[in-house]
Structure 1
Amino acid sequence: MATKKQATLLILVLAIIKFALPFFLQHPVYELHRDEFLYLEQGKHLAWGYMEVPPMLSWLSYLTHLFGDSFFWVKFWPSIFGAFTLIITCAMVLEMGGKLFAVFIAGLCIMFTAYLRLHFLFQANFLEVFWWALSAYFIIRYINSNQVKYLYGIGLAFGCAWLSKNSVSFFIIGFAVALVLTQYRTLLLNKHLYGAGVLALIIALPNLLWQYNHNWPLLHHMEELRETQLKFISPVDFLIGQILMYFTAFFIWVMGLIWLFTSKGKPYRMLAWIYLTVIVLLIVSSGKNYYSIGLYPMLFAAGSVALQQWTTIKLKWTRWVASTVILFLAVFTLPMAMPLWEPDKLATYYKERDVEGTGMLKWEDQQNHSLPQDFADYLGWKEIAEKTEKFYQSLPQVTKDSIVIYCRHYGLAGALKYYGKDEVFKLKVISDNGSFLHWIPNDFGFKHLLFVGRRMPAADDEVFQHFKKVTIIDSVTYKHSRQLGDKVIFFEQADSLASKLAAEGLKQMKQEFSRKKL
């Protein structure tokens, strides 16, 4: 009993540290990430689905707005779910026979690997990791107890995972393959397994219906990713990523995978087959290396148990070596995991240590830059929002009444809405990028247009050719920002065709994602 209490106390302490640590590791000069602006805006337009993600993240966004929209509340959700993920991982350790040391190691793995940054980003990935980990936990509980309630727990986790991120389909396929390849294939004749499947389907059904009614934007989004990003990813890069993302403790998950194929790990071998199946699927489909991030809590749990079992007598001293290595590498890699310092200092640090050679400074454009892409995505938003709103406020009221503020992508639109101070100004902001497309009124009109984007619209962007005067007002000057050079451009005195062309183009774009005639 004392051991159980000690384990519970240790898990609680680790979870509290996990929750609080990122708040102390990010320098205050960094703002929100471009994707966070989009997901925050989704909370103001609740639906059963969006162009980018299912609805669960928007529910948390809605609560964030209720609590005041502050930086803390934006970051609260990934941080608290990170703590929950650590708790589940440590619970898996206990279920697989691990003791206090294994719990401690598993907690370090969740705190000081790729999850450190992931659990400070308001993106669907932190929900994905949580539900995948919970699915694995229920699998282990079923293996240990043979109680059907845990099959329904798996179904519940699968359904909720779908409402978080559709990538759970990879895990579900892996689960099915693992059933066939292990002694648990008899479950294929168990009616409760199919009952659990029905439960998962019922939970996921609202989003599936939304996808159907909007012509499956999930498929459109994946095709766009394949054309713009995924085609650059090689299997070698993907596999290297599986090491680098967990560099501080990669030997733990490797040990876990090996242990699952030993006699002691055999009862839980299903987890290994799930992992290998998903990895193969992601390689074949050119997935990004972080698409597998939900798999590793269960492997870290298994690896922690393996380390404990393999060092019970003669090699007990290696436990402290393992702990020290994880903590030492964590300190060494912190400047790459979190934006610890202001951008100039961080960029100098990277240059002095030739971080460019690791590939960590390579962006989606396949070029190296001064900061990692994620860090550069935290900068420049306040600047562009302030410059846009300042110019808007300088306009005469009659111009304000007949203007729209068009942003080329969702990050800019979301930043203007988040950092904008005047409510009327924020209502003027629109974008046809991502989910913002659906939030543009069908009957909007304008006489003037304030454009916010990287480049002057090209000649084939016909709407912009119907203004009498065009003036470049300002631009982003923050040198480390990914938004460097984004401009504020004022288009004045639209002719009679401008609004008509914009309305027709908007209708056509919306029609692509709707089964209803607009």
Structure 2
Amino acid sequence: MTRPPVPAFAARPVVSVAVIVGLVLTALSGRYGYHRDELYFMAAGRHLAWGYIDQPPLTPLLARLSTTVFGDTVMGLRVLSTISCVITVIVVALIAREFGSDRRGQLLAAVCAAVSGFVVGVGHLVSTATYDLLAWMLIGLFAVKLLRTGDGRWWLALGLTAGIALENKYLVVLPIAALLISLLAVGPRDVLRSWWLPAGIAVAGLVALPNVIWQFQHDWPQLTVAGGISEDDGTENRIMFIPLQLLQLSPFLVPIWIAGFRRLWRMPWARSVALAYPLLCVVVLAVGGKSYYALPLLLVLVAAGCEPALGWIDRHRTAAFVGFVLTALTSALFTLPVLPASAVDFVIPVNKEQGEQIGWPTLTTAVAAAWERIPPEQRSTATIFAGNYGEAGALLRYGPSHGLPPAYSGHMSFADWGIPPDTNTGPVLLVEMERTPSFEDHFRDCSQVGTIDNIVSNDEDGTVIVQCAGTAEPWSTLWPKLRRYY
């Protein structure tokens, strides 16, 4: 089968758009504060391992690297995330190029990625989704190159990228599986009849092997975490899946990715790429996964739709310009820290992650005030126990400046990073999002001594601080009962 050539890469305009995105993210990266997940990644980065209860090792490793090289600050932590977002914008344009887009089409693809709420939202924060998005887009690029050229050696690039992505999050198996099924269904099947395919699989397996071994040695805890998340959030995820597919990139981009789907469906060599997206959506809906799991393939469709969209844009330049400006403004409003912290309640109903970056110093100050009320002679045997990894991470980050001892938690991998000694028989300060009698039954004589009052209505607003006289049994006996996987 003859595959079409590609136009030259529009390096200067595409890179210019990506650099602008990087500058905007850098300028805003220090506003608000750490996200709860970032506090957890920083803590995990202090305990480098080949795996954790709820994730592979790559994101904690990159968090450690970023703070070591660029500074132990919010801005320093997010430098590599910003760079990842910049590269993602460029890769989207490269995918458009593979589909035959010329200079203008590639520039349009870069702009679409740059104004997408999902792209800049995950680029602003350090999260597994940040690096997952880049990995998925690279996989998309290499897959399209494979299909366009028929050169089986691209399976090696696919395998290497997939292996690295598996060291970040296991979700990468979903788009690859969707693509393989699509290839079997609609072709071109000739790319599957290549010895480079098993070679690529071997490379992926070799790179991912250390984390797989770690999970095996620890009885596959990540499966337990995934099952609990699906059970808790599955129904809501299914209900919101379609609306969020339309909203999370941008409603303005919907006509472009629809045009991309139609265009690819008419291209025999690329038809499997079009089919992979609805297949992936079916799988995500079936397992109750989050809507953003399918968004990277939607960006591939956006890249494919840019060339046909140019005709409409040429005929409606004013409307297109207004649309892109409004998209950029709304994306920034709902995903970036552009509002005063006191006004974030306005966007939390649409994007709760904005609120999760506010209030951690306040929480630590409240815990420190409660700690100061414990008689000095009892503090050497007292314990601070946080109910979730965000609280524990905040106390680890901000607690030393208040003279607080290390906090413990049974949530996720914090349960493996330290157990209070049995000699800690004194008072226990519990940090709970809400009072839970079944949880407090593990302790003696508990009473509320504080409440967190944040300036925004985030998850920690109203969190309570409870002081107990001690534990109902030794910490070593109690600890397995306090472990939480979700």
What TM-score do you get using the length of structure 1 for normalisation?
Answer: 0.84
- 509 and 400 in structure 1: CA distance in 2 versus 1, 3 angstrom threshold: closer
> What are the Cα deviations for residues 418-444 of structure 1, in whole angstroms up to 9, with x where unaligned?
122349735x21100111111123755
Displacement, 1:187? 3.0
1:249 to 2:242 alignment? no
In 2, distance between residues paired with 1:276 and 1:100? Answer: 29
Q: Distance in 2 between matches of 1:319 and 1:205?
A: 51
Deviation at 1:227, TM superposition (A): 2.2
Cα pair 1:27 1:340 within 8 Å, conserved: no
Aligned residue number for residue 468 of structure 2: 491
> Is 1:451 the counterpart of 2:430 in the alignment?
yes
Q: Say how many residue pairs are matched.
A: 474
Three-state SS of the structure 2 residue aligned to 1:478 is coil
* Bigger mean CA offset, 439-448 vs 374-383: 439-448
Give SS of 1:69's match: coil
**Conservation of the 8 A alpha-carbon contact between 1:43 and 1:65:** no
Return the letter of the residue paired with 1:418. Answer: R
CA distance in 2, matches of 1:26, 1:154: 32
SS in 2 for 1:148: coil
Q: How does 1:39-438 map to 2 (within 5 A)?
A: 39-67=41-69, 68-113=71-116, 114-235=118-239, 237-246=240-249, 247-262=251-266, 265-308=267-310, 310=311, 316-318=314-316, 321-332=319-330, 334-347=332-345, 350=346, 361=349, 372-392=351-371, 397-422=376-401, 425-426=404-405, 428-438=406-416
Q: Which moved more, 1:456-465 or 1:56-65?
A: 456-465
Shift of 1:115: 1.3
SS of structure 1 residue aligned to 2:50: coil
User: Could you give the per-residue CA deviations for residues 338-360 of structure 1, whole angstroms, max 9, x where no partner exists?
Assistant: 3421244454xx4xxxx8xxxx7
5+ residue gaps, structure 1, are 363-371, 514-518
Q: State the distance in 2 between where 1:444 and 1:60 align.
A: 35
In structure 2, distance between residues paired with 1:419 and 1:111: 34
The 3-state SS of whatever aligns with 2:306 is helix
For 1:193, the aligned partner's letter is L
Query: Cα offset for 1:186?
Result: 2.5
Kindly indicate whether the alpha-carbon contact (under 8 Å) linking 2:370 and 2:450 is maintained by their aligned counterparts in 1.
no
In 2 relative to 1, CA 453–389 (structure 1 residues): closer, same or farther, beyond 3 Å? same
Distance 2:455 2:403 in 1: 30
- Report the alpha carbon displacement of residue 130 of structure 1 after superposing the two structures with TM: 0.6
Instruction: Output the CA distance in 1 between the equivalents of 2:320 and 2:74.
Output: 35
Q: Give me the whole-angstrom Cα distance separating, in 2, the residues matched to 1:122 and 1:92.
A: 24
Residues 418 and 99 from structure 1, CA distance in 2 versus in 1: closer, same or farther, beyond 3 angstroms?
Answer: same
Following superposition, the deviation at residue 4 of structure 1 comes to: 4.6
Instruction: Say which is worse superposed, 226-235 or 129-138, in terms of deviation.
Output: 226-235
Task: Give the distance between the partners of 1:507 and 1:345, measured in 2 at CA.
Answer: 41
Q: Take 1:99 and 1:321, find their aligned partners in 2: how far apart are those partners?
A: 22
Give 1:18's aligned residue.
Answer: 21
Change in CA separation of 1:322 and 1:271 when aligned onto 2, cut-off 3 Å: farther
Residue 156 to residue 320, structure 1, CA distance change in 2 (3 Å): farther
AA in 2 matched with 1:109: C
| Structure-2 separation of matches of 1:432 and 1:192 | 45
Q: Which amino acid aligns with 2:476?
A: A
| TM-score for the superposition, normalised by structure 2 | 0.90
Is the partner of 1:50 in helix, strand or coil? coil
Indicate the residue corresponding to 2:478 in structure 1: 505
Q: Distance in 2 between matches of 1:508 and 1:456?
A: 17
Identity %: 22
SS at match of 2:78: helix
Would the aligned equivalents of 2:419 and 2:476 in 1 still touch at CA under 8 Å? no
* Structure 1 residues 479-511: Cα deviation after superposition (integer angstroms, max 9, x where no partner): 42421111223333x3xx7452x311324667x
Please state how far the C-alpha of 1:392 moved relative to its aligned partner: 3.2
Contact kept? 1:379, 1:481, Cα under 8 Å: no
Q: Post-superposition shift, 1:24?
A: 4.1
Change (3 A) 1:455 1:145: closer
Q: Which runs of 5+ in 2 are unaligned?
A: 1-6
Kindly indicate whether the alpha-carbon contact (under 8 Å) linking 2:259 and 2:305 is maintained by their aligned counterparts in 1. yes
Q: What is the CA deviation profile of residues 364-404 of structure 1, one whole-angstrom value per residue up to 9, with x for unaligned ones? A: xxxxxxxx422222222110112223443565554332122
Structure-1 separation of matches of 2:142 and 2:180: 15
Kindly state the Cα deviation for residue 329 of structure 1 after the two structures are TM-superposed: 3.0
Give the RMSD, CA atoms, in angstroms: 2.6
For the residue of structure 2 that corresponds to 1:293, the secondary structure is: helix
- Against the structure 1 CA distance between its residues 192 and 410, is the aligned structure 2 distance closer, same or farther, given a 3 Å change threshold? same
Q: Decide which moves more: 449-458 or 150-159.
A: 449-458
Match of 1:367 in 2: none
Residue 476 in structure 1 maps to residue 474 in structure 2? no
* Conserved 8 A contact 1:129-1:295: no
Report the 3-state secondary structure (helix = DSSP H, G, I; strand = E; otherwise coil) of the residue aligned with 2:301: helix
Q: Tell me the CA shift for residue 100 of structure 1.
A: 1.9
Compared with structure 1, are the counterparts of its residues 145 and 60 closer, same or farther at alpha carbon in structure 2 (3 Å cutoff)?
same
SS at 2:431 equivalent: strand
